[in-house]
Amino acid sequence: MVNGDIAAAAPVFSMSLGLVVVMFVVSFIGVVLQATSGFGYGVLLMSILPLFVPDLLVVVTVTGIVIVIQPAIAVWRYHKDAQWRFLPPLLGCFLVANFFAIRFAAINPVDMLRRPMGAFLIILAVYFIFFAGKIKIKGSPVAGCVTGLISGIAGGLFSIPGPPAVVYLLSATSSNVAYMATLQTYFLLAGIYANVIRSINGLITYPVLMLTIPAILGLAAGTTFGAKLFAKLDPAQLRKLVYTIMAMSGLSMLILG
C-alpha cells in the first residue's frame, strides 16, 4: 500500500465546533496532568479522543505531533540536569521498535488496533492505580534497551511511549529533577524521530493538521494558566480521575471495538 492509499483509506469525520472544543479542553487538562508527574498528556488524549474521532490512526498521529511541544519547553528549562548516560540504550532500542511499529500501523487496517489499544489502556490504568512506585528497575543498559523496545512499540502504535520510560527512569535517575530532565529529553528526541517516520509513511494528512490546531491552542493555554489552576487542585485526585477515565475508555474500546 502506498502513502496515498493510506490517506485515501482513512475514515472521513466532521470537523465540528464540538470536536474543536473537545480537542482544546482535553489538551488543556493534559498539560496540567503532565505538570504533576512529567507525563500523562499523551495518555489522556489517547484515552478520550478515540471516543470522538473514528479513525484511530488520525488520533495517534495528532497526539504524536502535539506531545513533542511540551517536552521541548521542559527540556529548555531542565536540560542541565539530564543524566545523558541513560539515554543511548533507551533511545537506540526505541528507534528500531518505533520504526517498525509505525510502519505496521500505516499499512494495516486501523480498526484492528482499537481492541489492543483498549487492553493497553486498561493495563496502564491498573498499574498506575495499584502498583505505581512499587516496581523498581535497575538502570542498566539491558534494562534501558528493553524499556526502549516496549516504549517504541507503544509509541508507534498508540502514541503512548511514556509509561515504560517513567517506570525505568524513576528507578534509574538520582533525583526528582534529574528524572524530570532526563524523561523530557527522551520524550523530545523520541517524539521528533517518530514524527519524521510518520511523515515518511504519509500519516500527517489534512485531517491530522486540522485536529492539531485546537490541541496546540489547548496546550498553550494549559501551559500559561496551568500553574495557577494546578495550585488549586489535588494532584493525587487528578491522577486517579484520569486513570479511571483511562480504564473506562479502554474497556469501551475493548468491548465495542
pLDDT-derived band at 160, boundaries 50, 70, 90: confident
Residues 73-96, mean pLDDT to the nearest whole number: 90
Looking at residue 92, its pLDDT comes to 96
Domain range summary for the chain, segments of one domain joined by +: 16-256
> To which H or E segment does residue 220 belong?
helix 206-230
Q: Is the pLDDT of residue 24 over 90?
A: yes
Looking at residue 91, its pLDDT comes to 96
Q: What are φ and ψ of residue 87, in 5° steps?
A: -80, -35
Mean pLDDT highest for which of 2-6, 19-23, 69-73, 119-123?
Answer: 19-23
Distance CA 157, CA 178 (A): 28
Distance CA 218, CA 25 (A): 6
Other Cβ atoms within 10 Å of 185 Cβ, number = 22
pLDDT-derived band at 90, boundaries 50, 70, 90: very high
Asked whether the beta carbons of 25 and 222 are under 8 A apart, the reply is no
Q: Is the pLDDT of residue 18 over 70?
A: yes
Distance CA 224, CA 201 (A): 34
Looking at residue 201, its pLDDT comes to 92
∠188-159-31 over CA atoms, to 5°? 65
| Least confident span in 45-49, 69-73, 109-113, 203-207 | 109-113
Q: Is the pLDDT of residue 10 over 80?
A: no
pLDDT-derived band at 133, boundaries 50, 70, 90: low
